[in-house]
Amino acid sequence: MANQETSSAARNYQELVKKKRPGKPVLKNLIYAFVVGGAISVVGQGIQWGFMQYGMSAKDATSPTTVVLIGLGALFTGLGWYDQLVKRGGMGGTLPITGFANAMVAPAMEFRSEGLILGVGAKLFTVAGPVLVYGLSAAFVVGLIRFLITGVA
């Protein structure tokens, strides 16, 4: 009996919480994400063109561009700027490769205090780990489907 009362009070309460909880500023977040993500992409494009000035093809320039962006993401994380960027830009900052760099460097900095093996070594992938696991899994499945349909490995 007491339990029933509690559970109905709890249900009513959760309804109340839903009503009172402030909503996320979705439109503002979307605009910021577009601007931040777009800006990072523009920078990336600029870097790629820069490499192409030195005679690389667009495809050849992709790898060094990625390396430079990862370097910048790591640098900005180290300087304590990247988290400020993502705070505003959300997925616009997380999704580009610079966000991946942030996800690797932040734990590396954080867990330095527990040493190189049990700290940095063990915790380096705590954030990026799930992305890698499911990213690689998805790539494998998609690759398999592509192979089954087109016969191209």
Partner 1 sequence: MAARKIGPGTYQMSRVGIKSTAAIVGPKEGEGPLRTYFDEVWESETHQQKSVERAERMLLEDTMNLAVEKAGCRWPEIDLVLGGDLLDQIVSTNFVARRHQRPLLGLFSACAVFTEALGLGGLLVADHEPTTVAVGAVSHHMAAERQFRFPVELGYQRTPTAAWTATAAGAVVVGPAEVGHVVIDGVTFGRVVDWGSKDPNDMGSAMAPAAFDTIKQHLVATGEGINDYDAIFTGDLGVLGVNLLQALGNKEGLHFDDRLNDCGKSLYYLKEQDVHNGASGPGCSASVFAGYLHHRLLSGEWRRLLLVATGALFSPTTYQQGESIPCIAHAVSLGRPEAKLS
Q: Which residues bind partner 1 (CB under 8 A)?
A: 6, 9-11, 13-14, 16-17, 20-25, 29, 77-78, 80, 82-87, 90, 93-94, 99, 102-103, 105-107, 109-111, 113, 126-127
Minimal distance, residue 147 CB to partner 1, in Å: 36
- End-to-end alpha-carbon separation of the chain, Å? 64
Identify the CA nearest to 32 among candidates 81, 73, 85: 85
Closer by beta carbon to partner 1, 61 or else 103: 103
Shortest reach from residue 53's CB to partner 1, in Å: 31
Q: Which of 91, 118, 117 is nearest to 102 (CA)?
A: 91
Residue closer to partner 1 by CB (options 8, 63) is 8
Nearer to partner 1, 24 or 59 (CB): 24
Which amino acid is residue 72, in one-letter code? L
Residue whose pair of structure tokens reads 């993500």 in the numeric block: 37
Least Cβ distance, residue 44 to partner 1 (angstroms): 17
Torsion of CA 66, 72, 74, 80, to 10 degrees: -150
Closer by beta carbon to partner 1, 69 or else 85: 85
Closest CA to 45 of 62, 33, 67, 57: 62
Residue 42 beta carbon to partner 1: minimum distance, rounded to whole angstroms = 19
Nearest approach in angstroms of CB 27 to partner 1 is 14
Closer Cβ to partner 1, 41 or 62, answer by number: 41
Per-residue CA distances from 82 to 44, 89, 92, 139 (Å):
16, 10, 12, 28
